[in-house]
A and B are shown apart, each in its own frame.
Chain A
Amino acid sequence: MPAIVEVEELDKTYEGDFKALSSVSLEIEEGEILALLGPNGAGKTTLISTICGISIPTSGRISVSGHDVVTDWRAARRLIGLVPQEINLEPFEFVGNTVRFSRGLFGKAPDEAFIDQILTDLSLIDKKGSRIAQLSGGMKRRVLIAKALAHEPRVLFLDEPTAGVDVELRRDMWALVERLRSEGVTIILTTHYIEEAEAIADRIGIIRSGEILLVEEKNKLIKRLGRKTLTVELKEPLTQLPDALSDYDLQLSEGGNALIYAYDAGAERTGITRLLSSLQSAGLVLADLQTNESSLEDIFVDLVQEDAQ
């Protein structure tokens, strides 16, 4: 898959010498859904704003479909749609007008049928003639999405699209994201809900203090988190692993009174039965058994904290 968005060594220092991004490099593949996770203030919004041309990069290079966002900004921006984190809408404007406005702003000829289609997809069609101020928070967020889609972008940035959105609407949004992806739209979303990333993303990027800690395929990451550990406590401590058990991916705990076996919970064979009988044959007496599972959340928290130290 070719990269549609390329970020190279991006630095962003805000006025007052605050470094919000430091040498961020990221390649976003065409047609993928990338979820950016990171604690508050990590720099997610800053990264998105810089790609979209709202923030000026301090150094580094960004291109969208080969168009540099600084030198070839017009071509780059035509491809981008942005749903901002804050609900910024003109309160007195009508829903239909504001979506039409967005389409025009991005240089597209009027297409009322297309706008109606978007509004229908977002269950906003009956609000077309309402003023923004008369809408609920969730509806306003959908208006922002409609505006971002009005010019048929190829790359869509969703900055916390489901913050403050009810469960049903969240599922609707996931479905919409899935449909857009099937139309070939590349989607980058930020979220604080890890299940959300798990449910819809192809890849997950974790960002902390302005640095990308990792970008990895969700399934690989899930595999990593899907790994469970079995802790076997022994009656008698061991000084080293018996040779009979060398076939297994075992670790001896400190003090030698427990064996830790890591396995893939999703796999057809976990190898536990075989391990237990091998333990018995090796003449080990078990005191207790215990399994642990790390979730994506744990991995996320570990990563974020580990780096903080």
Chain B
Amino acid sequence: MNWYGIAAIFRFEMARFFRSIIQSIVSPVLSTSLYFVVFGAAIGSRIPEIEGVSYGAFIVPGLIMLTVLQQSIQNAGFGIYFPRFIGTIFEVLSAPLSSFEIVLGYVGAAAVKSLMIGLIILATSFFFVDITIQHPFWMITFLMMTAISFALLGFILGVWAKNFEQLNLVPLLIVTPLVFLGGSFYSVSMLPPFWQSVSMFNPVLYLVSGFRWSFFGMADVPITASLIAIMGFMVACLAIVWWIFRTGYRLKV
């Protein structure tokens, strides 16, 4: 293993995070606080408790997931897209680094960044609502697996994108709707039966459900289904990344 090489990429990616530390931390904290004010306090006061959990607390796992997903995709996508865009990628491709090591550097940094932001949001939410985490181990596990697998997705996106528009469009047009329709702010049991069945095809539902279970012990789908879904998603992303490096798709000519 070329550890110095992995560390160089990792450090470089983290430096960008800390260079814009204000933006990196203030913006998620601010938007989360807004969600709490609007959904938790204003609207939530008119929504009854869901299975014994106040609405304000109920949305916390969904909010964290929403941000972690977006941040993972965005960080990893930008991380690999930008060097492609300005041409500095040649250096990484000509270095004695295996594809696994390159991915470890970029995806690892992106996942760590979004994990940090997820934890900051969790900390913020303690100011607004009372939360006890019933299964802290699973909470962290879900969070890490989500951060890693969506950073992998972001990496794929960053390799695939031919311009900044494509890079931003996919998260906007595909990922955000999936998150909103994945039960982040409601329990699918609140939906009419038809939409409940449709929701079962939304992969994000399994993540949010499993994550929420780790907080409150309640879930829309069985916890094993959530675990299988996230593992399956991660394996699929890894397979695509492996294929990218095998063929040199959009990285090498």
A residues bordering B, Cβ < 8 Å? Answer: 14-15, 49, 52-56, 73-75, 77-78, 80, 82, 84, 86, 88-92, 97, 100-110, 147
Q: Contacts of A100 on B, CB cut-off 8 Å?
A: 8
B93 contacts A53, CB within 8 Å? yes
Q: Contacts of A90 on B, CB cut-off 8 Å?
A: 83, 86, 88
Q: Contacts of B91 on A, CB cut-off 8 Å?
A: 82, 88, 102, 105, 147
The stretch among B94-102, B181-189, B197-205 that forms the contact with chain A is: B94-102
- Whole-angstrom CA separation of A89 from B92 in the bound complex: 12
Q: Contacts of B7 on A, CB cut-off 8 Å?
A: 104
Residues from 119 to 134 in B contacting A, C-beta threshold 8 Å: none
Measured CB to CB, the nearest residue on chain B to A51 is: B94
The 8 closest A-B pairs by CB, nearest first: A104-B8, A88-B87, A77-B96, A105-B95, A107-B2, A74-B96, A52-B94, A104-B4
B96 contacts A73, CB within 8 Å? yes
Q: Smallest Cβ distance from A38 to chain B, in angstroms?
A: 19
Given contacts A74-B96, A80-B94, A105-B95, contact A54 B252 (CB under 8 A): yes
B88 contacts A88, CB within 8 Å? yes
Cβ-based interface call for B222 (8 A)? no
- Whole-angstrom CA separation of A89 from B15 in the bound complex: 16
Q: Smallest Cβ distance from B226 to chain A, in angstroms?
A: 38
B95 contacts A106, CB within 8 Å? yes
Cβ-based interface call for B248 (8 A)? yes
- Whole-angstrom CA separation of A260 from B11 in the bound complex: 69
Measured CB to CB, the nearest residue on chain B to A79 is: B96
A104 contacts B96, CB within 8 Å? no
Q: How large is the interface on B (under 10, 10 to 19, 20 to 34, 35 or more residues)?
A: 20 to 34
A108 contacts B4, CB within 8 Å? yes
Q: Smallest Cβ distance from B95 to chain A, in angstroms?
A: 4
- Whole-angstrom CA separation of A77 from B95 in the bound complex: 6
Given contacts A77-B94, A82-B90, contact A105 B9 (CB under 8 A): yes
B residues bordering A, Cβ < 8 Å? Answer: 2-5, 7-9, 11-12, 15, 19, 83, 86-88, 90-98, 248, 252-253
- Whole-angstrom CA separation of A82 from B95 in the bound complex: 10
- Whole-angstrom CA separation of A105 from B93 in the bound complex: 10
Q: Contacts of A92 on B, CB cut-off 8 Å?
A: 19
23 CB contacts below 8 A, A to B, read A52-B94, A53-B93, A54-B252, A54-B253, A73-B96, A74-B2, A74-B96, A77-B96, A80-B94, A82-B90, A84-B90, A88-B88, A90-B86, A91-B86, A104-B7, A104-B11, A105-B4, A105-B5, A105-B9, A105-B95, A106-B4, A107-B3, A107-B4
A109 contacts B4, CB within 8 Å? yes
- Whole-angstrom CA separation of A110 from B98 in the bound complex: 20
Pick the contact of A106 from B5, B19, B83 — CB < 8 Å?
Answer: B5
Q: Smallest Cβ distance from A59 to chain B, in angstroms?
A: 15
Given contacts A56-B252, A74-B98, A86-B87, contact A107 B93 (CB under 8 A): no
Q: Contacts of B2 on A, CB cut-off 8 Å?
A: 74, 107
- Whole-angstrom CA separation of A102 from B11 in the bound complex: 12
Measured CB to CB, the nearest residue on chain A to B97 is: A105
Measured CB to CB, the nearest residue on chain A to B19 is: A92
- Whole-angstrom CA separation of A167 from B7 in the bound complex: 39
17 further contact pairs, Cβ within 8 A, besides A82-B91, A100-B8, A101-B11: A49-B90, A75-B96, A77-B96, A78-B96, A82-B90, A82-B94, A84-B90, A86-B87, A88-B91, A90-B86, A91-B86, A97-B15, A105-B4, A105-B5, A106-B95, A107-B5, A109-B4
